[in-house]
Structure 1
Amino acid sequence: MGTWDIGPFDNDTAADFGGDLDEAASEERESMIRGVLKRAADPVDYLDTSDGERAVAAAALVVAQHSDGEPVSATYGPSEPLPVLPADLRTLAADALDQVVSELSELAELWAEAANGSKWRQDVTRLCDILDPPVLPQEEALFEI
């Protein structure tokens, strides 16, 4: 795998995806991101590495537009501005990331064997938590109705 770090755009496939977004017309960028996320969210049988890498990058772009998100790497991510992405992409991105870290993901298998695999998984989990925050337990009711 042509990977140099754990970030969403720190591999050849994701960096190429960022370049593809830059080369696309502005009105095509959302559909490109949506297509990558759909392919990963509902794999035919097994999610291959390149689809997983693109999905993590696309999800990071969705997260970057969230109020709790962070900008993506300007070095390897897209340098051209993205349109405002619709809110429904948050759910699709979360579903895609769930598949990326599942047992049916080649990318998850490769990272499980890597020395910094747990850091990669934490980074993906952080993205998921921004997209779909965990529900905190509710306090017991003080009185019953």
Structure 2
Amino acid sequence: MGKWGYKPFENDTAADFSGDLDEAHESERLGLLWAALSAVAASDGHVDAGRAEVAIAAAAVVARGFPDGEQFQSAVCGPMQSIPPVSSDFVTLAVRAVNRLLDGDNDLSDDWSGEPEGEHWNGNLRRLGRILSGEQEDSPEGLW
């Protein structure tokens, strides 16, 4: 796993997914997001790092239009092409995927638990879930 930070697009897999979104025809982009989120949200077993990283990136893309959603975007590795507006079903699926990664068995939680920035990764993922759920927070400092 090539990672250089704890934010959604700060790993090779998410950066590649971003490139896939940009290369896809605009009419196919929502399908790619849906597939990425579904692969984790519908999983009952262990989620490998690659699927988890792509799902987190997809959830960050869904958060683009939310208040404070810009903090999960990347000017370097995030998708540059337009993404059609997402429906409430996408938001629900993104929340389920994020919660699944926070509460379920997955490689990323295992990997980050031993890292010095593990708490930052976990806090960032929790904040993404809260923003997608429409929860407002008074202070982001409490998450770190």
User: With structure 1 as the length reference, what TM-score do the two structures score?
Assistant: 0.88
The structure with more radius of gyration: 1
For 1:94, give the aligned amino acid.
V
- The aligned counterpart of 2:18 is 18
The equivalent residue for 1:97 is: 98
CA contact (8 A) 1:59 1:93 kept: yes
In 1, Cα distance between equivalents of 2:54 and 2:8: 8
Structure 1 window deviating more from structure 2 (66-75 vs 124-133): it is: 66-75
Counterpart secondary structure, 1:5: coil
**2:52 counterpart letter in structure 1:** G
Sequence identity of aligned pairs in percent? 38
* Residue of structure 1 in register with 2:2 after alignment: 2
The two structures have a TM-score, normalised by structure 2, of: 0.88
Unaligned runs of at least 5 residues, structure 2: 137-144
* Closer/same/farther in 2, CA of residues 133 and 67 from structure 1, 3 Å limit: closer
Deviation at 1:134, TM superposition (A): 4.8
**Which range moves more in the overlay, 15-24 or 102-111?**
102-111
* Distance in 1 of aligned mates of 2:2 and 2:125: 18
Aligned residues: 136
Task: State whether residues 47 and 99 of structure 1, in contact with CA within 8 Å, keep that contact through their aligned partners in structure 2.
Answer: no
1:12 alignment partner AA: D
Q: State how far apart, in whole Å, the 1-side matches of 2:67 and 2:122 are.
A: 22
2:75 maps to what in 1?
Answer: 74
Q: Which amino acid aligns with 2:129?
A: C
Higher helix residue share? 2
- Asked whether the equivalents of residues 47 and 105 of structure 1 are also in contact (C-alpha less than 8 Å), the reply is yes
State the match for 2:117 in structure 1.
116
1:50 and 1:40 map into 2 onto residues whose CA distance is 10
The 1:103–1:86 alpha-carbon spacing in structure 2 relative to 1, beyond 3 Å, is: closer
Question: Residue in 2 aligned with 1:140?
Answer: none
- Indicate the RMSD between aligned Cα atoms, in angstroms: 1.7
* Alpha-carbon distance in 2 for matches of 1:124, 1:108: 11
**1:41 and 1:92 in contact (8 A); partners too:** yes
Displacement of 1:49: 0.3
Q: CA offset at residue 44 of structure 1?
A: 4.6
* Paired position in structure 1 for 2:40: 40
Offset at 1:101?
1.9
Segments ≥4 residues shifted beyond 4 Å: none
Contact 1:102–1:108, Cα closer than 8 Å, also in 2:
no
Q: Which amino acid aligns with 2:18?
A: G
Provide the rounded CA distance (Å) in 1 between the counterparts of 2:64 and 2:82.
Answer: 12
Q: Distance in 2 between matches of 1:21 and 1:29?
A: 6
